[in-house]
Amino acid sequence: MAHRWLRGGAMALLLTLSGAAVGAETRAAANEALRWLERVAAAPRKLNFTGTFVFQSGNQSETSRIVHVAEGGRERERLEVIDGSPREVLRDDDEVRCLLPENRLMIVEKRAMRRQFPALLPASLTGLGDHYLLRMGTPGRVAGFDIVKIVAEPRDELRYTRSFWVDPHTGLLLKTTLSNERGEVLESFAFTDLTIGAPAPAEALKARFGGSDWRVVHARSNETRLDETGWVLRAPLPGFRKLSGMKRAPSDNGAETLHLVFSDGLAAISVFIESAGAGQTPEMGEFSLGAINVHRRALGEYQLTVLGDVPPAALKKLANALEPKRR
């Protein structure tokens, strides 16, 4: 009897030690993946690069040419969509000019937060591992570059899986995909050709479109805290924190729009709140635009539109937690 107990005890100890070893390996892999993502977040701010990338969402695709210059702590960039409707975006640090030739329109705005490929990650990724299982994927090649792959798998139903293909020498992001719980790719960005490090000529950053007869619109918004908006969030969405809140100029029906942005470091959710207007009925329901899900909720006279690259359950949960502050 004692002998059998010893054998059982030894087996239990072995299983415990084995489990501890697996746990240590998992933590080590997660830490390595996080270090890579931190490098990815910092890379675009200090690199010069020129390339062509393809954005794919559902059955829609779009090809863009990008020139990025980082010099003396200053970032300048020119991005041109080269298929479909022409569009050009020029950035000088946080000032962005979007040129729409078909409308002969230039929109000028300040963007404190930039989440555009390949600069998709924020500077701080603190707490990311609480809501995503981070691991290293299988190495491969993208646009002629050998890469390392990092995978972020959600720990709950409020997020999608994200994969990142990275140049190991510079940390520049070369490809990324967003996949649902069935492993279906909902959205992807990928370079098809890329040159890193070579200086770009000055004319490569100059606008191709524009003219003196174009209409110029300066997009303005007033930053505001959530407790100053007249709205409260009864229950925060796990892992998501408010990044910004702004009141935008009145819309066509004369109503001011409140725009809130929440993020968990990878995913982003936008909330638009506005009055439905006299005699109008707020819209309700859900629909998808590629990887972007949209949830509309009517709350009294208000129309809430919540959208983001997250599952519909996350949008509904956040929308239901917002309500006007009681006076």
DSSP output for 181-228: TT--EEEEEEEEEEEESPPPPGGGGS-SS--TTSEEEE--EEE--GGG
Percent helix, strand and coil across the chain, each rounded to 5?
Answer: 20, 45, 35
Mean of pLDDT values over 96-109: 90
Question: Strand, helix or coil at 302?
Answer: strand
* CA–CA distance, 150 with 136 (Å, rounded to integer): 5
Q: How many angstroms separate the most distant Cα atoms in the chain?
A: 95
Average pLDDT taken over every residue of the chain? 86
pLDDT for 243 equals: 82
Given a cut of 80, whether residue 133 has pLDDT beyond it is yes
Given a cut of 50, whether residue 5 has pLDDT beyond it is no
DSSP output for 143-170: TTEEEEEEEEEESSTT--EEEEEE-TTT
Are 207 and 86 in contact by the 8 Å Cβ rule? The answer is no
pLDDT for 250 equals: 58
Are 159 and 267 in contact by the 8 Å Cβ rule? The answer is yes
* CA–CA distance, 11 with 13 (Å, rounded to integer): 5
Question: Strand, helix or coil at 11?
Answer: helix
Percent of the chain with pLDDT over 90: 51
pLDDT for 2 equals: 44
Given a cut of 70, whether residue 62 has pLDDT beyond it is yes
pLDDT for 209 equals: 87
Write the pLDDT tens digit of every residue in 139-169.
Answer: 999 999 999 999 999 999 999 999 999 999 9
Given a cut of 60, whether residue 252 has pLDDT beyond it is no
Write the pLDDT tens digit of every residue in 292-320.
Answer: 999 999 988 889 999 999 999 999 999 99
Write the pLDDT tens digit of every residue in 207-251.
Answer: 888 887 899 988 766 666 666 677 888 998 999 998 887 777 655
Distance between terminal CA atoms of the chain?
A: 73
Given a cut of 90, whether residue 13 has pLDDT beyond it is no
Given a cut of 60, whether residue 278 has pLDDT beyond it is no
* CA–CA distance, 34 with 133 (Å, rounded to integer): 10
What pTM was estimated for this model as a whole? 0.85
pLDDT for 53 equals: 97
| Burial of 65: CB neighbours in 10 Å, binned 0-12, 13-18, 19+ | middle
Are 148 and 36 in contact by the 8 Å Cβ rule? The answer is yes
